[in-house]
C-alpha cells in the first residue's frame, strides 16, 4: 500500500462520528455579584469552570474575566452531539428569538426587553426558559436531564409552582426529563420519572461519575462483541478467521460487526450484562417507532422502551451512542494496526496524519 492510499484509508477511519460520553449546557453564577449569570456549553464542565475562573491559562472566556469567581449552578446534560448542545445554549441565551420556546412561555418579544430584564439578573426567567426548552418538540426526544448545584436555586424551584411542581416527597436534585406527549410545564414535572441519583455539590465528582457510566456500558458491549469476533477486546478489524456469524433478531439478516466491510451497518448489543439481544440499529429504531402509538406522525427518533429479549429498560440515545462508540473503537484499532504494518517512512507520514486528524477531532468537540 502506498503512502497516499494509506493516508486516504487513515482519514476514512478517523473521520467517523462518535457520540460524546458527556456534553452539557451550563449556567454560571457570579459569587461576587449574585445577579450575574453566564450560559455556555462544554463536554467537560470541571475543566470549563476552572477556565472561567482563570485557573487554567488556555480556553478562558472573555466575558467572565470580571465578577470572578464563578460557580456552576445548573447543568443540562445528555446531549447526543455538540451541535444539539449548541442549539440549546443559543436558545437559552436568546429566548426571545428561539422557535423552541412557545409564545405562551416567552417573557420577552424583543432583544431590548430581554436585555433590560437580564440586567436585573432574574434566575426565575432562566429556569422557566430551561423548562420550556426541555418540553419543546425538538429537545424532549433527547431525554435530557438537569442537575442543580445550588441549594438556593433548588429551594426556589420548590417554592415557585409556576416554575415547576415537583413531588414533595422527592428530595433529589437531579431531574430526568424522559416522558413524551406532555403539554405544559406543570404537567411534565408532576408526572416525570425522576432520576435516582444522590445530591452533588462537586462538579468534578459529578462529571466523572456520569462519564464512567458510559465507559462501563461500552466495556460490557465490547466484551460481548469479543465473544462473537473471537478476539479479546471486541475491536475486530477484519484479520481474524472463522468469526462466528450472528443474525439480527428483528430482520433475521446477518449482522456484520467489522466496520471496514462494505455491508457494515451500525448494530446494537443490549447493554444489560446477561442479555444476548443483537440487531441492526436501524431495525431497532423502526420497531420502536412502530410500537410507539403515541409518537408524533413524522417522528424519526425513538424514545425509551424495553429490550425485546430481556425486558430491561433501554434508552434509544444510549443504544445509538454505544453503537457509534463500538465503531470508533474499531477505527482506532485499525489505525494502530496500519501504523505497525507500514514501512518506517510511511509510518511516520501516517503518524503525522493521525495527529492532525486527532487535533481536528478535538477542536470539533466544542468548547475546551
Q: What is the pLDDT of residues 151-185, one digit of tens each?
A: 787 777 666 544 444 333 333 444 444 333 333 33
Reading the block at residue 42, the C-alpha cell is 462544554
| pLDDT reported for residue 100 | 85
> If you search the block for the grid coordinates 446534560, which residue do you land on?
77
Reading the block at residue 240, the C-alpha cell is 481474524
Whether cis (ω within 30° of 0) applies to the bond prior to 210 is no
- Sign, CA dihedral 181-102-175-282, equals positive
| pLDDT reported for residue 123 | 82
| pLDDT reported for residue 135 | 82
| pLDDT reported for residue 225 | 87
List, in order of start, the domains of the chain with CATH numbers.
Answer: 3-16+236-363 (3.30.40.10), 24-209 (no CATH)
Whole-angstrom Cα distance, residue 367 to residue 354?
Answer: 22
Average pLDDT score over the chain: 74
For the entire predicted model, the pTM comes to 0.76
SS3 148: strand
Whole-angstrom Cα distance, residue 166 to residue 342?
Answer: 60
Whole-angstrom Cα distance, residue 276 to residue 244?
Answer: 14
Reading the block at residue 25, the C-alpha cell is 449546557
Whole-angstrom Cα distance, residue 354 to residue 14?
Answer: 8
CB 273 within 8 A of CB 220: yes
Whether cis (ω within 30° of 0) applies to the bond prior to 69 is yes
CB 43 within 8 A of CB 95: no
Q: Average pLDDT for consecutive 10-residue bins of the chain (368 residues)? A: 44 66 94 91 94 83 88 91 95 87 68 60 79 85 83 70 40 42 37 37 86 92 80 48 72 89 89 92 89 73 82 89 90 74 59 60 50
| pLDDT reported for residue 357 | 56
Reading the block at residue 6, the C-alpha cell is 494509506
| pLDDT reported for residue 337 | 74
Using CB atoms within 10 A of its CB, is residue 127 exposed (0-12), middle (13-18) or buried (19+)?
A: buried
Estimate to the nearest angstrom the gap between the alpha carbon of 210 and the chain centroid: 11
Whole-angstrom Cα distance, residue 187 to residue 311?
Answer: 28
CB 131 within 8 A of CB 192: no
Amino acid at each position: 500500500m502506498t503512502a497516499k492510499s494509506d493516508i486516504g484509508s487513515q482519514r476514512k477511519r478517523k473521520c467517523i462520528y462518535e457520540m460524546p460520553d458527556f456534553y452539557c449546557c451550563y449556567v454560571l453564577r457570579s459569587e461576587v455579584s449574585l445577579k450575574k449569570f453566564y450560559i455556555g456549553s462544554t463536554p467537560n464542565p470541571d475543566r470549563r469552570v476552572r477556565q472561567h475562573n482563570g485557573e487554567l491559562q488556555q480556553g478562558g472566556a472573555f466575558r467572565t474575566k470580571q465578577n470572578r469567581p464563578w460557580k456552576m449552578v445548573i447543568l443540562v446534560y445528555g446531549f447526543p452531539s455538540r451541535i444539539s448542545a449548541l442549539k440549546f445554549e443559543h436558545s437559552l441565551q436568546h429566548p426571545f428569538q428561539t422557535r423552541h420556546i412557545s409564545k405562551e412561555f416567552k417573557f420577552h418579544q424583543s432583544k431590548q426587553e430581554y436585555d433590560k430584564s437580564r440586567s436585573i439578573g432574574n434566575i426565575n426567567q432562566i429556569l422557566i426558559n430551561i423548562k420550556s426548552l426541555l418540553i419543546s418538540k425538538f429537545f424532549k426526544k433527547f431525554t435530557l436531564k438537569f442537575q442543580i448545584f445550588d441549594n438556593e436555586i433548588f429551594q426556589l424551584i420548590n417554592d415557585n409552582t409556576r416554575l415547576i411542581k415537583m413531588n414533595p416527597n422527592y428530595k433529589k436534585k437531579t431531574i430526568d426529563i424522559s416522558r413524551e406527549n406532555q403539554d405544559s410545564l406543570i404537567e411534565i414535572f408532576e408526572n416525570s420519572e425522576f432520576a435516582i441519583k444522590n445530591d452533588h455539590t462537586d462538579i468534578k465528582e459529578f462529571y466523572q461519575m456520569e462519564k464512567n457510566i458510559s465507559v462501563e456500558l461500552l466495556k460490557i458491549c465490547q466484551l460481548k462483541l469479543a465473544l462473537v469476533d473471537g478476539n479479546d477486546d471486541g475491536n475486530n478489524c477484519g484479520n481474524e478467521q472463522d468469526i462466528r456469524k450472528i443474525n439480527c433478531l428483528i430482520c433475521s439478516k446477518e449482522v456484520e460487526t467489522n466496520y471496514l466491510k462494505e455491508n457494515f451497518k451500525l448494530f446494537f448489543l443490549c447493554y444489560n450484562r446477561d442479555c444476548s439481544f443483537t440487531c441492526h440499529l436501524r431495525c431497532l429504531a423502526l420497531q420502536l417507532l412502530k410500537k410507539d402509538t403515541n409518537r408524533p406522525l413524522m417522528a424519526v427518533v425513538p424514545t425509551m422502551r424495553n429490550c425485546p429479549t430481556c425486558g430491561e429498560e433501554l434508552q434509544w440515545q444510549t443504544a445509538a451512542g454505544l453503537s457509534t462508540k463500538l465503531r470508533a473503537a474499531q477505527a482506532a484499532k485499525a489505525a494502530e494496526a496500519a501504523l505497525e504494518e507500514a514501512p518506517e517512512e510511511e509510518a511516520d507520514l501516517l503518524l503525522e496524519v493521525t495527529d492532525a486528524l486527532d487535533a481536528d477531532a478535538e477542536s470539533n468537540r466544542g468548547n475546551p
